[in-house]
Chain A
């Protein structure tokens, strides 16, 4: 089993729709969690950190479920500019950080 797993997609979603991604992780001792966004041929950029209590930033909501070892990202009222690859990132706590392969999202006009 991979340490961090994501559905690679692509998710083809009409503009204005709501879309959700999940990411599972295998190491129960993992300490911190993030969602990064990567545009084509660009560097990854932090979208948001993920906390057990859940956190929201505008149209984006992230959740952590430690019992089931997954994190989620919900995007509401999707925009064309949301088209990108979304990377799930897990800090294992042993000075190693693991990126998922990413989920590709295409927002359709």
Chain B
């Protein structure tokens, strides 16, 4: 069975640009969550989407937005990139809400120059 997939694997952007990251959950999973992980830290929760609606949001600015599509795949958008946005962005899927086991994708490594 295919696991969680994310694209692209690596991305280099410059300050002020916009980026879109993509995630496909495990087949049958209805929830997608996004996390930001900077080096040496644990993942920080950004969003959870369940059944195409936002169900939870972490302490991130409005420059961060996301959506979930009818096929349960998801996009994370970040506008007006800052150097501090450089991180590994992880997507996790679960069958239901955040109480369910989350399965992580390999992540997208974003570098902002």
Contacts and interface: CB of A to CB of B under 8 A. Distances in A.
B33 to A, nearest CB: 7
Interface in A63-108: 87, 91, 94-102
A45 B42 contact: no
Contacts of B44: 99
Contacts of A96: 45, 56-58, 98
B55 interface: yes
A43 B106 contact: yes
A95 B42 contact: no
Interface in B77-113: 90, 97-99, 101-107
Contact of A91 (B43, B57, B58, B99): B99
B97 to A, nearest CB: 7
Interface residues of A, number: 21
Given A95-B48, A95-B55, A97-B33, A31 B43 contact: no
Given A87-B42, A101-B42, A95 B98 contact: yes
Interface in A1-51: 4, 31-32, 34, 42-46, 49
B105 A43 contact: yes
A95 B58 CA distance: 9
> Main secondary structure on chain B at its contact with chain A?
loop
A76 B76 CA distance: 40
B104 A44 contact: yes
A99 B106 CA distance: 17
A73 to B, nearest CB: 15
A65 to B, nearest CB: 20
Interface of A: 4, 31-32, 34, 42-46, 49, 87, 91, 94-102
Interface of B: 33, 35, 40-45, 48, 55-58, 90, 97-99, 101-107
By Cβ-Cβ distance, the 3 closest A-B pairs, closest first, are A95-B56, A99-B42, A43-B104
Given A4-B42, A46-B102, 20 more contacts: A32-B99, A34-B101, A43-B90, A43-B104, A43-B105, A44-B90, A44-B104, A46-B103, A49-B101, A91-B98, A95-B55, A95-B57, A95-B97, A96-B45, A96-B56, A96-B98, A97-B102, A99-B43, A99-B45, A102-B41
